Amino acid sequence: MAVVAASSRGLGRAVAEALAAEGASLALCARNENTLAATADQIQQRWGVPVFHRATDLTDAEAVKSFVGATVDRFGAVHIGVANAGGPPSTSFAETKLDEWRMAFELNFMSTVHLVRELLPRMQRQKWGRIVTITSVTVKQPVDGLILSNAVRAGVAGLVKSLANEYARDNILINNVCPGYTATDRLTDLAATLAAAQGVSPDEIVARWQQHIPLGRLGRPEEFAAVVAFLCSEKAGYVTGTSTAIDGGLVKGIV
């Protein structure tokens, strides 16, 4: 049974599909009820697994508690948790307002804390668990103009490494995955924002990104999701505390 956060669209949805393909029952959340309900329905139809959903803002600790509680009431246990949320706006340091710093911390750090606080005690009792956090390649190599992602997501990678140490004895494996440029709505929005700021077309922005990617193209959400599904599986039984780039070779460093 897998809880996949922020899963009505994009990478979260692709992960939900990949886990459903492996036969996992699902609990999905996002803020917009209509999009979420449609996604839950489509996944249930396509893969024939039970799919529970609840509109939830992941920055709201009480709402996350209620979502996980309702999931456990429905399925009896949670084996897999995938932490995800929307991305912060693209800004430079000089133009970033204090409120934007606080919002990015709530959205991309505290949302993970809220989810794992609900999941870990339950996984501890059953002595089995898999948690995967979705962050970004900015954890490994900062991207100019994404100061909030560059700064805040590194904290999630540190959290994951610490939790992996603390919970290994309970057979709970915790890893972080770092998407590169992957073709989702978020990326389309980012290309449009950067294009407007630079006075070029969104296609030009995408072409520039592709020049820096050794594989020469954007990633597909299902390619990303396949790695997450592996990390959630029994096959990944000796992998914990890692941050894995799924980026077509974009990151220039060695690890």
Ligand X SMILES: NC(=O)c1ccc[n+]([C@@H]2O[C@H](COP(=O)([O-])OP(=O)(O)OC[C@H]3O[C@@H](n4cnc5c(N)ncnc54)[C@H](OP(=O)(O)O)[C@@H]3O)[C@@H](O)[C@H]2O)c1
Contact set with ligand X (CB under 6 A): 6-12, 29-32, 35, 56-59, 84-87, 107, 134, 136, 179, 181-182, 184-187
Residue 208 tokens, joined: 């520039």
Contact criterion met (CB below 8 Å) for 92 and 147: yes
Measured distance CA(19)–CA(128) in Å, rounded: 17
Closest distance to ligand X from the beta carbon of 12 (Å): 5
Closest distance to ligand X from the beta carbon of 177 (Å): 9
- Which CB atom, from 116 or from 187, has the smaller least distance to ligand X? 187
- Which CB atom, from 21 or from 63, has the smaller least distance to ligand X? 63
Closest distance to ligand X from the beta carbon of 17 (Å): 12
Closest distance to ligand X from the beta carbon of 36 (Å): 6
- Which CB atom, from 134 or from 147, has the smaller least distance to ligand X? 134
- Which CB atom, from 208 or from 235, has the smaller least distance to ligand X? 208
End-to-end CA distance of the chain: 32
Closest distance to ligand X from the beta carbon of 221 (Å): 7
- Which CB atom, from 167 or from 190, has the smaller least distance to ligand X? 190
